[in-house]
Amino acid sequence: MSTTGAARSLADQLRGWPDERLAALIEARPDLGVPAPQDSAQLAARLSTRPAVVRALDSLSLLELTVLEAALHAPGSLHDVVHAAPASVDAALARLLDLALLWGTPEDLRPVSVLAEVLASPQGPPVGEVPRLLEGLSGPARALLDHLDERDADGRFESVTEPVRELLDRRLLQLREDRRHVSVPWSVRVALRGGRSTREPVDVVPRVATSEQSQRIADRAAAGAAFELVRRTELLLDHWGSHPVGVLRAGGLGVRDLRAAATLLAVEPAEAGLVVETAAAAGLLAPGSADDVDPAWLPTEAYDAWLTQPVAQRWMTLARAWLANPRLTGLIGARDEADRPVNALTPELERPWLPPARREALTELVETEGVLAAGTGLPSLLDRLRWRAPRRPAGRERAVTWAVEEAAVIGLTGLGGPATYAAALLTDGDAAAGLEPLLPAAVDHVLIQADLTAVAPGPLEQELARAIALVADVESRGGATTYRFSDASVRRAFDAGWSSVEIKEFLSSSSRTPVPQALDYLVDDVSRRFGTLRVGGAEAFLRSDDETALTALVTDPGAAGLRLRRIAPTVVVSDVPLHVLLPRLRELGHAPVVEAADGTVRIARPDVFRSRTSRRRPAGAELARRAARTSAVVAALRSGDRIAASRPAGQRAALPGDILSLLRTAAEGGDRVWIGYVDHAGSRMERVVRPLRVDGGALLADDEGEQRSFAVQRISEARLLG
Amino acid sequence: MSEGALIVQSDKTLLLEVDHPDAAEARKAIAPFAELERSPEHIHTYRLTPLGLWNARAAGHDAEQVVSALLDHSRYAVPHALLVDVAETMARYGRLRLDKHPTHGLVLSSVDRPVFEEVLRSKKIAGMIGERVDAAVPDAVGAVVVHPSQRGNLKQALLKLGWPAEDWAGYVDGEAHPIALDQGDWELRAYQQQAADAFWEGGSGVVVLPCGAGKTLVGAAAMAHAQATTLILVTNTVSARQWKHELVRRTSLTEDEIGEYSGARKEIRPVTIATYQVLTMRRKGAYPHLDLLDARDWGLIVYDEVHLLPAPIFRMTADLQARRRIGLTATLVREDGREGDVFSLIGPKRFDAPWKDIEAQGWIAPADCVEVRVTLPEGERLAYATAEPEERYRLASCTFAKTRVAEELVARHRGEQTLVIGQYLDQLDELGEHLGAPVIKGDTTVKERERLFEAFRSGEIELLVVSKVANFSVDLPEAAVAIQVSGSFGSRQEEAQRLGRLLRPKADRRTARFYAVVSRDTVDADFAQNRQRFLAEQGYAYRIVDADDLGSLDAAAG
């Protein structure tokens, strides 16, 4: 509790503080540093503003708040009034001084000026007098007082009833400034509570209700969830990479798309929402464009890099993103105030206070011995957090509940207990290293069976997984993966450029069991049918039953430029268009006839060329059109001139200083001025006025015979009209 | 990280690695609640379904056991959502129960008020329940009278609502009739005994055994448990005769005690065997033979080949909930997807044994499945290509190339009892003519059929050409080779049934041979692949040979 003796003011005291202490203050209350204060006086002023104080109060624990309140009312007897061990009181006091909510010395504590207003509780009659005042109190009045005291809350009233009147008269209740609430004054409260400001000790942190469970089981379950998270993220983004889903106009993911994703992942929509949000927070998913028309949610390039990492690393990327994600994903699927469903990935979900709250809850969880007791565990955790910051808005407790639930899905906790590696994540350490040994080891083989399925008895190595997903369809996913081979899946591999030998080699090298004969047959069957039908593009075909003639034509050097290709003994194709091909063939001495699309022969007669008759407009019409056009232009010109003439001429000012001096000049000279200004509704107006006076940031002017006042800072432009 | 034999997938499938040292133990742990979906050679797939989990609940397993079985044997972390889902699903069973009340008769009650109220408000069951009698059942929060005739319909509807009721209302004993197994020269196999016992303990339900594993005897053992008049429902008349024959041979029942109720005869005796066909026959919009179900006070009803139970029989059966019911089948797969009705109306699965297990014990013959691929000759290929889609399968199936292959195969297996099975009558006649063998099809008289089957059994004739009439319940123990030239499109259970014809253990422990002749590059090949799926999933691997390479067959088989 080092202070600089008797400082005259808070600013003075701050001036006397060492740099480290100032730095600690700014760190603890970052809002003070933005924007950087110019000097200690400004910092002191900022410390006394209401928002800054409220913000600081929100971060105080129940103990600190009680001490602070006591310091406001009874600075001299803190240790007597606060129901807590003296050491706890001292520690709390030290923190309050460090936060500069109080200043001065322990002997002469001074609250920052606005504090009394914020924490306001009337002082009340001297403590010594209270017992006397309580005596002879009527039954209803006493009951009312006890009730208010027990609730530790203000009472609301509409009209003054007899018991209230009695209490007010005896100063046992005091009317609030708003004249709608009454509160029990400080001294009365202390008297009612036996000389202390609270009945219960305030330095006892509520304990989290836990039950025992082996760390091994928690780890296993958590690692299982972590693995699932990575798997689901990959599955979903892989799917969206090839089947993009649209971005809503409001910038979110459609309800139907989310439900489809949930079906794909075989989870509840809420969990799918978490996967989607976490992927987006990790930068793996972002709006992009798949078809240059509509924006779509697509995996990012970072996703490709992410894919190449080991599972534990991938998980850590996701878990860190989740931890720092300011988005309230628990709301997804609920309905907002306007009864519209809340979509995933909408911008509205951001809550800046969420990451610290989540981190705080998890830290509590990690520091707890054992696992949260079923039923009572979560409420007790909330109690503990409430003790830590009683002034926090109550709505945030829901966020804590969600955070705890989500932690299980993310894989930080298992069956209610934190995993061993969770602590590392919270301290930004290498949680992946802790997770790694708990994850199932990658396997490098599958078991292929006679019913044309293959089972990978664990997570496959990436290369293998991609290859096998090409030749077979996934039937079931999880720790293991089941694949089924079918015509279509094998054909897909052929389409991707594999040969039947390659497929067979791949299968026999990756299967730990002999490849069943049925599968060999399947591959052969598909291979036999693959590519038996050929498709291509050509401009023209030539066919002839005379194979020799066709051979002669194809080998004729004169036909080299016709790009003839023989695709069957009697058929030749060419990619030269017919109208070029036909004369060339005739030049070469052949007598081709043209076949129509339906196979009939067209009579081949040389085309006779004609030019297209150009349409002429009558001369008179053209003249009339020109005359009309000219007159329109002239009219526009004239009108433009008139507008220009009506615009104010003369001296013009657009900068605040210039405007001010121009207005002053005009006021002195009694000149008229054109001003452009922005009104209260934000729309731009123009006016011609005669300025009368400029002072106090306002222009008083004669506007069409009526005196009006304009705020100078709203005037954007002024012109002297003379 | 434990190295369990089981991999639990988030889509509720369980993969069991067969070669894993703990595989047997893991299989035992999950068998009560997971349905075996596929059992090819390396990795077997089980699935967790609500029906399977409720089956397990009905058998007395609880969610904790299921969860711990999964956790103990799983190689990787078990998805948390799946465990939650298992617990929730299992908790749904038994929230409602059906009891017999001394004064109100059949009563549906629950200890869970929200569930009870939800169910009562459902439109689906509105007509099945009577007045509220909350006070009548002391432990329950709510109870309602159910008309006894709606017992089955109600259970069916509740299953659809997702709240299957536990049926504690018990069964009528029926008219007593002494029946005993006559185990002089034979003995009930261990699994048959287990199946019958499991059924009896459960009260009603389905026993799943492979074709050829002796389901008739399980039925007989169940009758011996019941000691009451019995109605046996079978697929066709030939099968009815065989049941009768077996019962006379294996039990204390005499010919006079067993009646046949079919198109030909209408006898009602203490043990009556009726065909599905006669029960579902309609005349003027009514089922004239339905009275059979009430003709006697039956103590037991046996459904043979439950997977073929026609839909009208389900409706009729719904009224029979007070009688014990046993369903016998080789597969719970129904091509019409009505597995849920089997669960609610016949009962949960009470016994199940994988085919390969029983084969390993030597109770069914090992089988070698071969797919022979023929190429359509040029002319037929053209005809096929230009044919209407509905004609294509017939064209592809009936190619003469198949007849030639059949001839060659028959010649190779001369001296072995051989069946040639087909779908199309023209083709069968053509085959009969070419092979010089008798043909059995739909219009063959029962008498003639029996004569031919008997001659085949005795070895008098060694080659039969049969249509689909021989798919089920025809006992031809010595058949060792089957050549299938065509079938009912992609029916999986037909393929299984046909293979089942061959699975009676042979005197010399020979391997049975099943040939499926398939036309390459046609819909026939696509259907064949679907047909083979069930067997491939049961671990029967098909080898493929070209029709031209039949010579290499036995060399490869070793």
B340-377 pLDDT, tens per residue?
Answer: 788 878 888 888 776 777 777 888 888 888 889 888 88
What the block records as the tokens of A142 is 């006493």
Gap from A451 CA to chain B (nearest CA, Å): 5
pLDDT for the residue A621: 64
Chain B residue with minimal CA distance to A232? B10
Indicate the fold that domain B190-356 takes in CATH.
Rossmann fold (3.40.50)
In order of A43, A278, A346, the CA distances from A253 in angstroms are 45, 14, 7
Given CB atoms, is A517 within the 8 Å cutoff of chain B? yes
- Residue B416: pLDDT above 70? yes
Closest residue in B to A266 (Cα) is B11
User: pLDDT (tens digit, 9 = 90+) per residue, B417-431?
Assistant: 898 988 888 888 998
Shortest distance between the Cα of B217 and any Cα of chain A, in A, equals 32
Contact A224 B76 (CB under 8 A): yes
ipTM, interface predicted TM-score of the complex: 0.71
User: Which residues of B fall within a CB distance of 8 Å from A483?
Assistant: none
Residue B527 has pLDDT above 50, yes or no: yes
Cβ pair A415:B11 closer than 8 A: no
CB contact under 8 A, B75 and A479: yes
Query: Where is pLDDT greater, at B437 or A73?
Result: B437
Please tell me the predicted confidence (pLDDT) of residue A2: 43
Closest CA of chain A from B333, distance in Å:
17
Rounded to the nearest 10 degrees, what angle do helices A215-242 and A269-281 cross at? 80
pLDDT digits (tens, 9 = 90+) for A398-439: 888 888 888 888 988 887 788 888 888 888 888 888 888 888
Burial class (CB in 10 A: 0-12, 13-18, 19+), B489: middle
Asked whether the beta carbons of residue B15 and residue A225 sit closer than 8 angstroms, the reply is: no
Tell me the average pLDDT across A176-180. Answer: 72
Average confidence score pLDDT of chain B: 83
Q: CB–CB of B1 and A513 under 8 A?
A: no
**If you measure CA to CA, which chain A residue comes closest to B531?**
A451
Q: What is the pLDDT of residues A547-606, one digit of tens each?
A: 888 888 888 888 888 888 888 888 888 888 888 888 888 888 888 888 877 777 776 565
Instruction: Indicate the residue of B11, B17, B43 with minimum beta-carbon distance to A478.
Output: B11
Test mutation, B2, B3, B7, B371, chain A, max A CBs within 10 A: B7
> A220 at the B interface (CB within 8 A)?
yes
Decide: B358 and B41 in contact? Cβ < 8 Å: no
Contact A482 B13 (CB under 8 A): yes
Q: Do B41 and A457 touch (CB under 8 A)?
A: no
Write the pLDDT tens digit of every residue in A189-208: 777 777 777 878 888 888 87
Q: Which CATH architecture has domain A647-720?
A: Roll (2.30)
Cβ neighbours of B38 in A, within 8 Å: 451, 453
The structure tokens listed for B123 are: 């439109």
- B542 to chain A, any CB pair closer than 8 A? The answer is yes
A374 touches B: beta carbon within 8 Å = no
Q: Kind of pairing, strands B324-329 and B300-304?
A: parallel
Place of tokens 């409430």: A386
pLDDT in tens, A461-495: 878 888 898 899 888 887 788 899 988 899 999 98
Overall average pLDDT of the B41-63 stretch:
83
CB < 8 Å from B in window 637-696 of A: none
Nearest to A480 among B9, B537, B544 (CB): B9
- The structure tokens 């077979």 sit at A472
pLDDT value for A233: 92
Nearest chain B alpha carbon to A437: B1
A699 contacts A712 by C-beta, under 8 angstroms:
yes
How many residues in total does chain A contain? Answer: 722
Is B10 close to A478, i.e. CB distance below 8 A? yes
Say if B3 is an interface residue toward chain A (CB within 8 Å): no
In A, which residues are within 8 Å of B537 by CB distance?
Answer: 451
Residue A278: band (very low, low, confident or very high) from pLDDT cuts 50, 70, 90: very high
Q: How far apart are CA B221 and CA B243, in angstroms?
A: 13
| Minimum-distance CB partner of A449 among B9, B13, B42 | B42
Q: Does B83 touch chain A (CB under 8 A)?
A: no
Mean pLDDT of chain A: 80
Alpha-carbon distance of B87 to B102, in angstroms, equals: 34
Higher pLDDT, A43 or A67: A67
- Is B42's CB within 8 Å of A455's CB? yes
Least confident of A383-397, A685-699, B115-129, B531-545: B531-545
Model confidence pLDDT, tens digit, residues A258-267: 989 988 888 8
pLDDT digits (tens, 9 = 90+) for B448-489: 888 888 888 888 888 989 887 776 656 677 788 889 888 777
Q: In this model, does residue B557 exceed pLDDT 50?
A: no
C-alpha A606/C-alpha A357 separation (Å) is 87
- A vs B, Cβ pairs < 8 A, gives 100
Nearest CA-CA distance, residue A517 and chain B, Å: 6
Q: Give the CA diameter of chain A.
A: 135
A154 closest CA partner among A174, A183, A177, A179: A183
Number of Cβ atoms within 10 Å of the Cβ of B47: 17
Cβ–Cβ gap A457/B15 under 8 Å = yes
Q: Does B45 touch chain A (CB under 8 A)?
A: yes
Name the residue among A225, A447, A455 with its Cβ closest to that of B80.
A225
Residue of B79, B536, B537 with shortest CB distance to A224: B79
CA pair distance A353, B519, nearest whole angstrom: 69
User: Is A46 strand, coil or helix?
Assistant: helix
Question: pLDDT tens for residues B380-406?
Answer: 888 888 888 888 888 888 888 898 899
Nearest CA in chain A to B520: A525
Report CA torsion sign: A303, A309, A315, A318. Answer: negative
> Residue B97 is encoded by which pair of tokens?
């129960």
Q: What is the pLDDT of residues A565-576, one digit of tens each?
A: 888 888 888 888
Distance from chain centroid for Cα B336: 13
Question: Would you state the pLDDT for residue A635?
Answer: 53
Q: How far is A558 from chain B (nearest CA, A)?
A: 42
For residues B71 and A258, what is the distance between their CA atoms, to the nearest angstrom?
Answer: 31
Measured between CA atoms, the residue of chain B closest to residue A513 is B42
Distance of residue B407 Cα from the nearest chain A Cα, in angstroms: 24
CA distances from B104 to B30, B99, B134, B143, B519 (A): 40, 10, 11, 10, 64
Separation in Å, CA of B79 to nearest CA in chain A: 7
What residues in A contact B9, CB-CB < 8 Å?
476-480, 482
Chain B residues in contact with A224 (beta carbon < 8 A):
76-80
Per-state percent for chain A, helix, strand, coil, to nearest 5: 50, 15, 35
Asked if A479 lies within 8 A of B77 by C-beta distance, the reply is: yes
Residue B366 Cα, gap to closest chain A Cα (Å): 17
Model confidence at A319, in pLDDT bands (50, 70, 90)? Answer: very high
Which of A217, A409, A451, A513 would best serve as a mutation to test chain B binding (most B beta carbons within 10 A)? A451
Q: Which of A271, A449, A491, A526 to mutate to test the interface with B (most CBs of B within 10 A)?
A: A449
Q: How confident is the model at residue A530 (pLDDT cuts 50, 70, 90)?
A: confident
Q: Is there a contact between B13 and A449 if contact means CB atoms under 8 Å apart?
A: no
The pLDDT assigned to A622 comes to 62
- The token pair that represents A229 in the structure block: 């998270």
- Do A478 and B536 lie within an 8 Å CB cutoff? no
Where do you find CATH 3.40.50.300 in chain B? 190-356, 365-557
Q: Higher model confidence: residue A587 or residue B537?
A: A587
CATH of segment(s) B365-557: 3.40.50.300
Domain ranges of chain A: 10-118, 127-192, 210-437, 447-529, 540-602, 647-720
Instruction: Determine the number of helices (DSSP H) and then strands (DSSP E) in chain A.
Output: 30, 27
Q: How far apart are CA B57 and CA B88, in angstroms?
A: 12
Answer whether the bond into residue B270 is a cis peptide, omega within 30°: no
Contacts of B26 in chain A (CB under 8 A): none
- Judged against a pLDDT cut of 50, whether residue B556 lies above it is answered with no
pLDDT per position as a tens digit, B479-516: 888 898 887 776 776 777 788 778 777 777 778 888 99
- How high is the pLDDT of residue A637? 47
Which residues on chain B are in Cβ contact (under 8 Å) with A450?
A: 40-41, 536, 541-542
pLDDT per residue as tens digits for the range A609-668? 666 655 555 556 666 666 665 555 555 545 545 554 555 445 677 777 778 777 877 877
pTM of the model: 0.66
Backbone angles phi, psi at A140, to 5 degrees: -60, -40
**pLDDT in the model for residue B26:** 86
- How far is the alpha carbon of A531 from chain B, nearest alpha carbon, in Å? 15
Q: For chain A, say whether B15 makes contact (Cβ under 8 Å).
A: yes
